[in-house]
Amino acid sequence: MQVPGTGSQTARVIYTAEATVTGGRANGHGLTTDGALDVQLRRPREMGGEGGGTNPEQLFAVGYAACFDGALGVVGRREHAEVGDVSIDSRVSLLPAAERAYKLAVELHVTLPQVQDPERAVRIVAAAHQVCPYSNATRGNIEVTLTANGRTVG
């Protein structure tokens, strides 16, 4: 498979998600080809919408947190560290940008219940940020703030 935008070849594709969205964020519908995710898309009340559905920021918040959890598991196994039942509180904010555009900002507040050493928790979360596909896709494009057991990850 060719890597889009690079002209180079890569290893085999591990997984491809497929979905169709009609109607956009204000009054739309999203459905994955396997039918596992079927959502009504609605603009949130905070943005003048009717609410009553989900929106792209919520989906991104759930997706990023779930992906980051997986990256924590990878790092934990690599470092022989028991991370326990990880909890990630994620926030995705929609912000105005220059020239009437928009941008995102992300906060991931990670709780590693089995990691008592605060410095080790920070190292594990920092390493997961290097492994996570969402982190790699957004690096340099959006602000991502991380905490590990309440401590800022640098």
Domain that holds residue 32: 1-54
Give the pTM: 0.90
pLDDT, the chain, mean: 94
Same domain, 35 and 68: no
Burial of 121 (0-12, 13-18, 19+ CB in 10 A): buried
Same domain, 79 and 143: yes
User: Six-digit token pair at 70?
Assistant: 């997986």
Average pLDDT estimate for 47-59: 95
pLDDT for position 5: 56
How many domains does the chain contain in total? 2
Same domain, 15 and 68: no
pLDDT at 8 over 90: no
**CA 88/CA 90 separation, integer angstroms:** 6
Same domain, 63 and 116: yes
Q: Which residue has the tokens 């995705």?
A: 92
pLDDT digits (tens, 9 = 90+) for 95-151: 999 999 999 999 999 999 999 999 999 999 999 999 999 999 999 999 999 999 999
Same domain, 48 and 17: yes
Average pLDDT estimate for 33-38: 97
Same domain, 76 and 103: yes
pLDDT band at 79; cut points 50, 70, 90:
very high
Average pLDDT estimate for 72-78: 97
Same domain, 100 and 29: no
pLDDT for position 99: 96
Same domain, 83 and 98: yes
Q: Give the torsion sign (CA, 141, 143, 149, 154).
A: positive
Same domain, 84 and 140: yes
Same domain, 97 and 145: yes
Same domain, 77 and 112: yes
> What CATH number corresponds to the domain at position 74?
3.30.300.20
pLDDT for position 122: 98
Own/partner contacts of 40-47, CB < 8 Å, gap of 24 or more, are 47/94
